[in-house]
Amino acid sequence: MVGFSFRLLALAGVSSIAIVGPVAAQQTDATSATTTSATGTSAAEPATAPPGDIVVTGIRRANNVAIEAKRNATNIIDVIGSNDVRALPDATIVEALRRIPGLSVLPATDNEHPRDEAATPVIRGLGPAYNNVTIDGLPLASPGTPNGTLGSISRGVRLDILPASMISQLQVVKTFTADLDPNAVGGAINIVTRSAFEGGGKPFVTTEASLGHANDTGLPRHQPDFGTRLGATVSTTFGANHQYGVVLSGNYQTLSSYTDTHMTTDTIHYSFYNAAGQLQTGAGLGNGFAVPQQDKYWYVMDKRDRYGLTGKFEVRPTDTLQAYASLGYYYFKDKMERNEVLIDPRNRGIVQNQTATSGNYPGGDVEVGWENADIVTRTRVAQTGLTWQPGDRQTLSLKGSASRATYDEVFQMIKYATGVARAAPGIAGATPTATSNFAFAYDTSRLDQKFAVDPAAYNNLANYSLLYYRPNNERHASDTVLTGRLDYGFNQGADADGIGFAAGASYTDDRPKFNLDRIDLEPNTTGRPIGLATAVGPGGAPLNYSNGLYLLTIDPAAAVRDITAQPGSILNSTDQSSYNNQDDFRHVEKIAGGYALASYVSSAINAQAGVHLDHTDQSTVGRIKRNGVFVDQPTRSNYTYLLPSAIATWHATHAIDLRAAASQTIGRPSYDSYAARSSIGFVNASDLGNGAATGVNVTIGNPDIKPRRSTNLDLATDWTLSSRYGGIVSLAAFYKDIKDEIFNAASVGYTYEGVNYVNAVVTRPTNASKASIKGIEASAVLNSLEFIHPLLSGFGVSANAALLRGRIDVLSSAGVARSIDRLVGQPDSTLNASVFYAKHGLELRAAYNRQGRALRTIINDIAWQDLYWAPREQVDLTANYTLRNGVAVIGQVSNLTHSRLTSFAGPDKNLLKDSYSVPTTFWLGLRFTPKF
């Protein structure tokens, strides 16, 4: 640990854009600007520099405000202000969050959707299921992240669907206090919306119009060359005494791009063989020469449209009474078109002429697929609140919110393949088979494998015929959250002095549900095969690792014409009852909470201790197959926790603060974990009943799953530098001991309807015996380098870094424990560094972000099948030049080096699972922020 600490301390002088900000106080000075904090109470902003002025005054002013706020905070928390959210070239809120110390981001992790945009944040190595997300201190409904055929509602909120225009601050609270929602093992993210009373209530306007372009666009089909970003935020106060305020914010963004992907199979990924070339099963490594099971290529074209509207009305009729009501509507549509080619030996039992990096198969097949999906997410939020000061140093607040989020994905799929074996008329499906003209040699001498199929056979369209047509697939998820809370505080405001206390109660009703349906048509032995030759689409997209082959595509309109022109009798409507039922569920969660805390504030000490009582009742209705028929399967459970917390800050000198905190928190399981279900999927429909089939995936619910429970310890220090440097240096250390940790355990082998599928991979949410994570975070800001030389007065630097060490003990299906050196989603390190220049109206910034290797998936029976995200680096550039009268020219470049997103498998964690391109994007536009 000593070496660990030393390495991180050495990084404290390197720099980042994420600035540390305030924890909320419960009582506000009526003359100062206020926002609603992560605790659900009001937080006083420094009257000298409210967030509304940050846009006008630039990087240094934003840094100074954040430093002042950090020193006044009780908790350990980080903040990104509105200026940074808009100025960074991040498309979404979640991408902006990666600039904060100890934070990283994750994409969608299933095997259907693209990954070129981050979907969820990871706080201190803990993923979205560990973290609480609020808007102005109140919970937010979320439809979860896309997750293939599994239940798509995860516990974490999808921040990528929320616009930046609504934000005054992004607050990341890393220490728990009794007034917070305790579902925060990693931390809590609070989105603070703008108040009309910021800046003393002066009118505020900022508008932006930009054109964008992604360097990866237009393959294999044409895409719009340019995207558009429009945004505006307007606020003002009115009335005889300016006691009323209104804020309106809106945004619109559209951008098209494509992602090219290279991967192996969705599960298992690699095969191992003995010296005779015979396939090894289970964890056996045979001769140690890994062979990828498929060579798969995707081109995924996306057109992403986002728009949002936020309105807030505020009233302050007296100095002791204030109220607000707000409405928000946020829309995100991803029009996704996926083109794929996969090369498969199909019969993996024997490999010939094997060496450490090569071999060949006597046969194989090629599949050509197309999918079109319209993915629409809508989030609606309504909030209201009232704060009253009935007496000296007393505050009473009542707040409530209603939010609803929906996820609707309607998609069509068509696939052609070589060697298609058609079934007899009925409900059976078709199957690709290996043929000798698609025999191939493989080459694994580099990370990206090559399967060298014969180009003449590959390009001969007569070899391909229809495998399936899925005219209608639908995936729907929704979540509705109602919440209310009442808080009372005595001597809890920014002017608190001496002993104080607070108490409160809250109630939340959370109702998520999910359902999935599809129609699947597959050719039978009646009539002729439906060929690809009359339905082939545009080419020209290279398969970058395939010895000169190019993507074969499908013209969907031509394909549908061909299919629908045939007599209906030549297509089997396959049995989709399992697919359409096994993952469906609906869930009701009712959470009653209460807290009490005591505090002490003096010129040197700010301390607080309290307890939070959480009682949760829940019921879930899943679908399970009994005697060949799917029926509703209801389950119920409840739990109660009493969770203590304590935190103290010592202002040791005028420049140095020391903080310590201890708490207990919980991490609620994902909603679909509770559903009693037994979901099974096959690569080929004909695999049903074949106990030796490979690629069989099974997902089982666990109605008895318990929340994880964490004991958290934190230490931190902040050193505010002199005005000569204009900055701050911070260092924090933390340790979390997590009981009943939850992970998706996997085992091999499953019996379904009397057949034992020996190769089936079974996934089930499970409480592990224990887990832990510890880390050190360092951050530094220097607003000016003038102390080095006067010519450097316009330059500044900022940085943050975190080193994380985790551990989770998992059990195999045989009950044998193994320890893994990190938690799912946890990188081993994060680093942000930026250099900025600000002078004479010109602001330039270069930002660097690095995420270390992170655990993606645990396969508890076979350690070498665990998946890891590879380390990834990204460089971004921004420029902002203010002309006159508040008009500024803005330019942004993200992912300058075109860095890809890659994940690994294998005994040495160095074998390719998949690699996704991430476009370099450019934005150029104007921003208008007049002064009043």
The answer to whether residues 96 and 85 touch, using CB atoms and an 8 Å cutoff, is yes
d(CA 715, CA 180): 19
Tokens coding 32: 């100062």
**Whether pLDDT at 593 is above 60:** yes
d(CA 450, CA 22): 53
pLDDT of residue 154: 67
The answer to whether residues 871 and 855 touch, using CB atoms and an 8 Å cutoff, is no
**Whether pLDDT at 421 is above 60:** yes
Q: 3-state class of 376 per DSSP?
A: strand
Q: What is the mean pLDDT of residues 60-87?
A: 70
CA-to-CA separations, 638 to 260, 588, 612, 620, 674, in angstroms, rounded? 46, 11, 17, 12, 12
Of the pLDDT bands very low, low, confident and very high (cuts 50, 70, 90), residue 167 is: confident
Q: What is the mean pLDDT of residues 251-269?
A: 94
d(CA 463, CA 449): 24
Q: What is the mean pLDDT of residues 298-319?
A: 95
Cis check for the bond before 224: say yes or no (omega within 30 of 0).
no
pLDDT of residue 50: 35
Phi, psi at 849, each rounded to 5°: -130, 135
CA-to-CA separations, 53 to 201, 274, 595, in angstroms, rounded? 11, 68, 36
Of the pLDDT bands very low, low, confident and very high (cuts 50, 70, 90), residue 96 is: confident
Q: 3-state class of 568 per DSSP?
A: helix
d(CA 16, CA 845): 11
Nearest to 378 by CA among 323, 347, 341, 333: 333
pLDDT of residue 58: 62
pLDDT of residue 28: 31
- Backbone angle region of 149, left / alpha / beta, with phi > 0 → left and psi within -120 to 50 → alpha: alpha
Tell me the helix, strand and coil percentages in the chain, rounded to 5.
10, 55, 35
- For tokens 């224990």, the residue is 770
**Whether pLDDT at 124 is above 90:** no
Query: Is the model more confident about 790 or about 162?
Result: 790
- For tokens 């580099």, the residue is 446
Residues 6+ apart with CB under 8 A from 568: none
- How does pLDDT run across 813-854, given as a tens digit for each residue? 777 888 999 988 899 999 999 999 999 889 999 999 999 999
Query: Is the model more confident about 92 or about 718?
Result: 718
Nearest to 688 by CA among 764, 763, 750: 750
Residues 6+ apart with CB under 8 A from 545: 262, 295, 448, 449, 450
Number of residues in the chain: 932
The answer to whether residues 81 and 62 touch, using CB atoms and an 8 Å cutoff, is yes
Query: Is the model more confident about 8 or about 273?
Result: 273
pLDDT of residue 91: 62
Of the pLDDT bands very low, low, confident and very high (cuts 50, 70, 90), residue 395 is: very high
pLDDT of residue 8: 33
- How does pLDDT run across 863-918, given as a tens digit for each residue? 999 999 999 999 999 999 999 888 999 999 999 999 999 999 999 999 999 999 99
CA-to-CA separations, 253 to 89, 165, 321, 379, 408, in angstroms, rounded? 13, 11, 38, 16, 20
pLDDT of residue 512: 93
Mean of per-residue pLDDT scores for the chain = 87
Q: What is the mean pLDDT of residues 588-593?
A: 97
Residues 6+ apart with CB under 8 A from 88: 17, 96, 99, 847, 876, 878, 892
**Whether pLDDT at 13 is above 70:** no
pLDDT of residue 14: 32
For 170, half-sphere exposure in the C-beta direction (CA atoms, 13 angstrom radius) is 27
pLDDT of residue 495: 85
- How does pLDDT run across 682-739, given as a tens digit for each residue? 777 678 888 988 878 787 778 888 898 999 999 999 998 887 778 889 999 999 999 9
**Whether pLDDT at 573 is above 90:** yes
d(CA 845, CA 59): 10
Nearest to 109 by CA among 808, 768, 868: 868
β 755-767/697-700 pair status:
parallel
